[in-house]
Structure formats: C-alpha cells, structure tokens
C-alpha cells in the first residue's frame, strides 16, 4: 500500500532511513514492522477510571470517624484545642 505520512520527526526519519539502508531493507518494510510491533501491545482501556466508580468500604466498628481522623492528622484540626479542652473537662476562655 502506498501512503503519505506527514509531521514525522526529521531526525528520527533520517535515522530510520539510514538503519534501513544498512540492513538492506526499504523504509516501508521497517515502518510496517514497527506498526505491527505497536499493534501487538495491549490496547488502552476504553473506559477511564472515575472516583465516582469507587465503592465505600466498611472498616468495622470503631472506625466511624476514620476519615475525619485522617484529615486531622494530615491537615491539622482547627478546633483541636477546644475539643482537647472539652475532653479534659475544662473550658478555654
């Protein structure tokens, strides 16, 4: 089949042409081999993964606040002092 391919990288094309000549092969043969190798690779998934596809996981009793606790560890708790004081049985002024 004859075809025209545009927008090839000039440096890559020249290297391809030189290697094909050293091997005594035509550019068409080398490009056909490259296309066939490319097509042997697994095709990408059609569907993209979305966070909306994730399902919640129950980690069992005592983990009801797990997400909030992780956020507090990672980002700090703006109400941490107040909560600590309340837990300790005293009020902050």
Mean pLDDT computed over 54-61: 86
Q: What does the alpha-carbon distance between residue 63 and residue 66 come to, in Å, rounded to a whole number? A: 5
Question: Is position 61 within any domain?
Answer: yes
Q: Which domain holds residue 8?
A: 1-45
Q: Is residue 51 part of a domain?
A: no
- The reply to whether 92 falls in a domain is no
Whether residue 56 is predicted with pLDDT greater than 90 in this model: the reply is no
Number of domains the chain is built from: 2
- Given this model, what pLDDT does residue 41 score? 85
Q: Are residues 2 and 36 in the same domain?
A: yes
Query: Which of 4-18, 20-34, 43-57 has the weakest average pLDDT?
Result: 43-57
Specify the length of the chain in residues. 93
User: Does some domain include residue 76?
Assistant: yes
Give the Cα separation of 65 and 2 in Å (integer).
65
pTM of the model: 0.46
């Amino acid at each position: 089949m004859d075809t025209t391919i545009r927008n090839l990288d000039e440096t890559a094309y020249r290297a391809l042409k030189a290697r094909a000549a050293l091997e005594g092969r035509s550019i068409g043969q080398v490009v056909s081999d490259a296309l066939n190798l490319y097509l042997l690779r697994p095709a990408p998934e059609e569907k993209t993964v979305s966070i909306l596809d994730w399902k919640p996981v129950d980690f069992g009793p005592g983990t009801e606040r797990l997400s909030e606790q992780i956020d507090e560890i990672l980002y700090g708790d703006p109400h941490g002092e107040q909560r600590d004081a309340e837990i300790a049985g005293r009020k902050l002024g």
